[in-house]
Structure 1
Amino acid sequence: MAQGQPIYILPEGALRTTGRDAQRNNIMAAKTVAETVRTTLGPRGMDKMLVDDLGDIVITNDGATIVDEMNVEHPAAKMVVEVAKTQDNEVGDGTTTAVVLTGELLSSAEKLLDQGIHSSIIARGYRMATEKADEILKEIGKEISIDDDKLLTEIAITAMTGKGTETSKEKLAELSVKAIKQIAEKENGKIVIDLDNVKIEKKEGASTADSELIQGLVIDKERVHAGMPKKVKDAKIALLDVAMEVKETETDAKIQITDPNQLQAFLAQEENMLKEMVDNIVKCGATVVFCQKGIDDLAQHYLSKAGIFAVRRVKKSDMEKLAKATGATIVTNIKDLEEKDLGYAAEVEERKIAKDEMTFVKGCKNPKAVSFLIRGGTEHVVDEVERAVNDALGGVAASLEVGTIVPGGGASEIELARRLKKYAETVGGREQLAIDAFADAMEIIPRTLAESAGIDAIDILVKLRTEHEKGRKNTGVMVLNGGIGDMLKDGIVEPVKIKTQAVKSASEAAQMLLRIDDVIAASKKEGGTPPMPEGGMGGMSPGM
């Protein structure tokens, strides 16, 4: 019988890391991603320049954009990217906070692992701390209503601070609040906001201060015929989901013509069909037509003769927004078009913006879809302003949907840490240590804010703890002044949803990574390096 015969259960080139090494590698990868975005946190946060393999450049300090553009390969690092994406999809802001918290929770857990505490106990402690943190955040929150314009504007300004919009953040914040209030709807006593109803159009040129909110819609299309009016006042708008063209038969058809008169009659019939379509539109009183499909050249001629402004091949999403903005009904058969199907706008005009013709539908009566036109000096500026506006819109929407806000500037995190430490004392067993570690991890936010302001983080943390022990729960880091102060008085406020979502996502990701003790990575095809190298980020050699 043969002795010492090796048994292979994994394919050649597969890499396996087990036990403490697997945990250490995963924690290291997650911490590396967190450290990358940590310097972008707060009003003094720095930007990152990301260059892809095609040479395209992205300059941003938006956490979700950074981790998405980094194109990470390490499986544990990818989980941290998922945390940022979840935060962005759920709230629209707070992505950097969520990533930084994930890294710090794992860093705190690593110290406990070194002390010989089992990862499942740490995970259980983190779970208990997350539930308690949710309760605490809801308790320290302050209620907000849709009529509180001052607070809503402060939320938008807080979301945009440090994102390259400093010169115009007050104006952009006001426009963001107006946009959200315009599209907000009440259902069963609750405010419901669909951010898809705010259409963001961006064009280079002019300055950020020239950005505007249109009480209606901006469509990146031009009128189909030069003979049509450029501007229509008190527009009656028809929305058509049907081609204004002669229909072709569904089946293969062959028409035999033996006489030139028959050909003439055939062409005349096609003309009549198109004229009849236009006559139906004219009869119902429409002065503007938005068509989702094509418009025949002859139909364009008849529409321009009738003085009707027409746009073709409008996107389905834009058609739906036009319906919400103008109150029109999308019609699929021109013969069924009636006056009651028409929408209203005070003005529809074609304007040239940065060398492109665009159609503006303005002055709608109580529109439930609006457009935000963003301007800026360069493509990169416009992109960063768009990200800042998205954060502001997400922040205002989240605060209204939940109806609660909390102080920013690290005040909420310090209060969380203080109360969690007290809660830890009531919990028996080793889980107490995990809850304590969770509380310590919360302080990474005020510490980072202090570091970015160039002030001593330890001094600031000691002062903040003292103030919070005295019951001043709104005290946080005044980054721009280099001290501490009352966040609510200074208008540094955030929706409670940003904090609850960030804490939950970060905690769940940390728990999942802590429970992994074995990583088996298949080799890449075509002789590539395995996706899970020994430590560090994907693609780095052990000696780097």
Structure 2
Amino acid sequence: MQSSSNNAGQGIEDKLAALHTNVNAIRSIASAVEGTFGPKGLDTMLVDTAGKVVITNDGVTILNKIEVNHPAAKMLIQVARSQQNEVGDGTTTATILSSELLSEAVSQVDKGVPIPKVISGIKKGVQIAIQLLRQLARPVSIEDYSVLYQIALVAGREHEDIAKLIVRAAKLIGNDKLLNDNFKLADSIVAHEGSENELISGLMINKRRMNSQMPDKVENVNVLVIQDAFEPEEIDEEALGTEIGFSKYLEFKEIFKQNLKKITELGIEFIAVNRGVDPVAEEFCVDHGIMVIQHLTSEEIKRLAEHTGAKTIKRSGLNKVLDDLKTYIGHAKVVYEDEKLKKTRVIEGKGKPVATILVGASTGEIVEERERIAKDAASSVQAAIRGGYLPGGGSIETFIAAEIENRRDQIRGMEGFGVLAVAKALKKPMAQIILNAGFNPLEKLEEVMIAQMEQRKEGIGIDADSGMLIDMEEAGVIDPSLVKIHAINAAAEITEAILRIHTIIKMRSPDDDQD
């Protein structure tokens, strides 16, 4: 009987071997960022083979730069990237929750709970958690400066100068644009070594004037945006070899010269070009004091047109009569080349308002980190405007964990074990913050849960400096609800994916696929 029992146990272990292998890989990745979490989290130094050093406590930066070979670990890194792409912040939270939820789920499987039941229970637990997060979220608008500042300050790791810049930029841009899914405030951030922090009411384009003899500054300027090459219309080489083709080529060159004259008649002083510029056009613009930048990306062209109120035009569009061309012209208060940054500034266009957030620092390594911090802060502010905010410091997750545990009795059968796995995982963020602050997580978590239950206040948490109970919202420790919602969803998705993997098999190389 003993031998039979041992064989049965060995059989279960064999079946779960792939699961345990994957869990261990994910735990190892999560451990790389756990120590950075919370206000007392420390930095990580990343060093490559060439000796380049990156010092950061930004979760997605660490995960993107560490060397990873295990497929499950790569899946976890993809979760962090998804968190970054969707909401721009909370990558460490998503990583820690994913690791903890998977660990708790596997713990239930090891006890004999069938994997399908665990997965089903996790889905129910996550559904409850997200429903409660949405119900408890506090709305916020662009006018709530103090709230947005605190959100930026928390996400920006207590960098007050960056938090102020971000909130000012958000107010300049306005609610409508911040609520647009296609706009990311974080994309407005530019970092440069040796620069001062600055909020620019306009665009910073990563190009310089194409010719140093062109003006480096124009004011009250009419703008032309060419989404094409600033050249005569083309004739293919085969046609050019014919008499008719060559005649057409000469005709196009003459038309182009006439179109250049229209540029001056329209009072154009700044031209932005998607592609290249013909030498004749370059000389013409130098002679007539017109500033030109070329080889802009499609995104730069789009943003410039929107900000200046210009309509993009093709080279053939320049054949239009003057009255029609006037409708394509944009306007800006000033356009000038920033010699220090080697970029072009377009200030106060008459189109849609735009803010560029310039973040500076003394060294390249530091400015990169400040750029990451600013992007996190900007993403958090935008996420809060879209979905509201909640108490931070792990307090809301701990409160919801207790609520889920209270509802455990409503879940019949073995799915309840999956629900409990969600509740236990939700306690991890606060436990990790407490641990990184140098206190006992078990003791402090118990204090928090008792206080939350007695006072029915979801915002009670731990002061990372003193270890005392505080109201996180009153202390200004607040987070966007969308960051938490996406992190929990992401954790559930990777947990289910890993739980469903029964066997790991190495694929044959494509080079071996020969008939």
Q: TM-score scaled by structure 1? A: 0.84
Code of the aligned partner of 1:199: S
Of 81, 90, 93, 1:94 maps to: 90
The Cα of 1:423 is off from its aligned counterpart by 0.9
Tell me, yes or no, if the aligned pair for 1:399 and 1:494 is still in contact at 8 Å. Answer: yes
The Cα of 1:231 is off from its aligned counterpart by 1.4
What's 1:464 paired with? 448
Which structure 2 residues correspond to residues 282-431 of structure 1 after superposition, within 5 A?
Answer: 282-332=264-314, 333-336=317-320, 338-354=325-341, 357-365=342-350, 367-402=352-387, 404-431=388-415
What's 2:3 paired with? none
Q: 1 CA distance for matches of 2:210 and 2:338? A: 14
Q: 2 CA distance for matches of 1:22 and 1:448? A: 27
The Cα of 1:348 is off from its aligned counterpart by 0.7
What's 1:179 paired with? 169
**Correspondence 1:475 to 2:460:** yes
Q: 2 CA distance for matches of 1:248 and 1:141? A: 58
Q: 2 CA distance for matches of 1:156 and 1:245? A: 46
Cα 1:525–1:291 change in 2 (3 A) is closer
The Cα of 1:152 is off from its aligned counterpart by 1.3
* Counterpart secondary structure, 1:338: helix
Cα 1:285–1:28 change in 2 (3 A) is same
Of 127, 130, 135, 1:131 maps to: 127
Tell me, yes or no, if the aligned pair for 1:18 and 1:519 is still in contact at 8 Å. Answer: no
Q: Deviations over 1:8-41 (max 9, x none)?
A: xxxxxxxxx9512111111111111111111111
**Correspondence 1:240 to 2:222:** no
Code of the aligned partner of 1:440: K
User: Pairwise CA RMSD of aligned residues?
Assistant: 2.7
The Cα of 1:494 is off from its aligned counterpart by 0.9
Of 501, 507, 514, 1:516 maps to: 501
Q: Deviations over 1:267-325 (max 9, x none)?
A: 99887555423211111121211111222333222212222221122221101010111
The Cα of 1:54 is off from its aligned counterpart by 4.8
Q: 2 CA distance for matches of 1:426 and 1:313? A: 63
Code of the aligned partner of 1:427: I
Code of the aligned partner of 2:467: G
Tell me, yes or no, if the aligned pair for 2:90 and 2:484 is still in contact at 8 Å. Answer: yes
* Counterpart secondary structure, 2:235: coil
* Counterpart secondary structure, 1:195: coil
Of 94, 99, 106, 1:103 maps to: 99
The Cα of 1:55 is off from its aligned counterpart by 4.4
Number of aligned positions between the proteins: 490
Moved more, 364-373 or 152-161: 364-373
Tell me, yes or no, if the aligned pair for 1:243 and 1:295 is still in contact at 8 Å. Answer: yes
Q: Deviations over 1:480-505 (max 9, x none)?
A: 44333111112111111111111111
Cα 1:443–1:196 change in 2 (3 A) is closer
Tell me, yes or no, if the aligned pair for 1:235 and 1:287 is still in contact at 8 Å. Answer: yes
**Correspondence 1:223 to 2:203:** no
Runs of 4+ in 1 over 6 A off after TM superposition: 265-271, 523-527
Of 186, 195, 199, 2:188 maps to: 199
Q: 2 CA distance for matches of 1:127 and 1:144? A: 29
More helix by share: 2
Q: Deviations over 1:134-178 (max 9, x none)?
A: 1111122212123212111211111111xxxx5xx2222222223
Code of the aligned partner of 1:28: N
The Cα of 1:524 is off from its aligned counterpart by 6.7
Code of the aligned partner of 2:297: K
In structure 1, the gaps of 5 or more residues are: 1-16, 257-262, 528-544
Q: Deviations over 1:116-150 (max 9, x none)?
A: 22222211111110001011111222121232121
Tell me, yes or no, if the aligned pair for 1:399 and 1:497 is still in contact at 8 Å. Answer: yes
Of all paired residues, the percent bearing the same amino acid is 30
* Counterpart secondary structure, 2:407: helix
Q: 2 CA distance for matches of 1:200 and 1:276? A: 41
* Counterpart secondary structure, 2:473: coil
Q: 2 CA distance for matches of 1:340 and 1:433? A: 66
Code of the aligned partner of 1:191: L
Q: 1 CA distance for matches of 2:401 and 2:375? A: 30
Cα 1:369–1:18 change in 2 (3 A) is farther
Q: 2 CA distance for matches of 1:455 and 1:298? A: 72
Tell me, yes or no, if the aligned pair for 1:39 and 1:452 is still in contact at 8 Å. Answer: yes
Of 36, 40, 54, 1:40 maps to: 36
* Counterpart secondary structure, 1:350: strand
Cα 1:271–1:143 change in 2 (3 A) is closer
Cα 1:267–1:323 change in 2 (3 A) is closer
Q: Deviations over 1:72-121 (max 9, x none)?
A: 22121122112111111111111100110111112222322232222222
Q: 2 CA distance for matches of 1:193 and 1:154? A: 23
